[in-house]
Amino acid sequence: MSLQDDLYGKLEQVLDLLILTTKRLNDTAKRFASEQELERLQQSQAEILQQMTFLDEHIKKVVGDDANEEMSERRQKIHEKLLEFQRMNEEFVAHMQDHMRVIQKKKLSVNAQQSIAESDVED
């Protein structure tokens, strides 16, 4: 097995782990889990992204643009996995934005009810 093949294999493994972690993050966010659980998964995701960046930089140094057809197929597979991660991450961000809007609306509603109750007491 060549160094190039080994590096691409490691990058694919890291991407698989990143996708799995992002799926867990999405599932956790959808069930309105604790902030600590979400933060732990986000930290794990950030660490995996660091590993991926390191591997990618190492591949660029070792391989450069010299990729044979087999490696082009692996690059395509890696690209597809990156797109899957990107889609899942965008889904997570959209879900969290929607969740925050719901929380803000609830807070506004509670604050409005408290203001009404306080004004009724004053009258």
Q: What is the DSSP string of 16-54?
A: HHHHHHHHHHHHHHHTT--HHHHHHHHHHHHHHHHHHHH
Helix (H) or strand (E) holding 122: helix 69-122
Asked if 45 and 22 touch (Cβ cutoff 8 Å), the reply is yes
Spatial separation of the C-alpha atoms in residues 20 and 115, rounded to whole Å = 45
Write out the two tokens for 117. Answer: 């109750």
**What pLDDT was estimated at residue 109?**
53
In this prediction the pTM is 0.65
**What pLDDT was estimated at residue 80?**
92
From the first residue on, what is the mean pLDDT of each consecutive set of 10 residues in the chain (123 residues)?
81 90 84 76 88 86 68 84 90 78 52 54 52
Query: For 26, how many CA atoms within 13 A lie in the half-sphere containing its CB?
Result: 16
Classify 64 as helix, strand or coil. Answer: coil
Q: Is residue 21 exposed (0-12), middle (13-18) or buried (19+ Cβ within 10 Å)?
A: buried
**What pLDDT was estimated at residue 116?**
55
The pair phi, psi for residue 101, each rounded to 5°, is: -65, -40
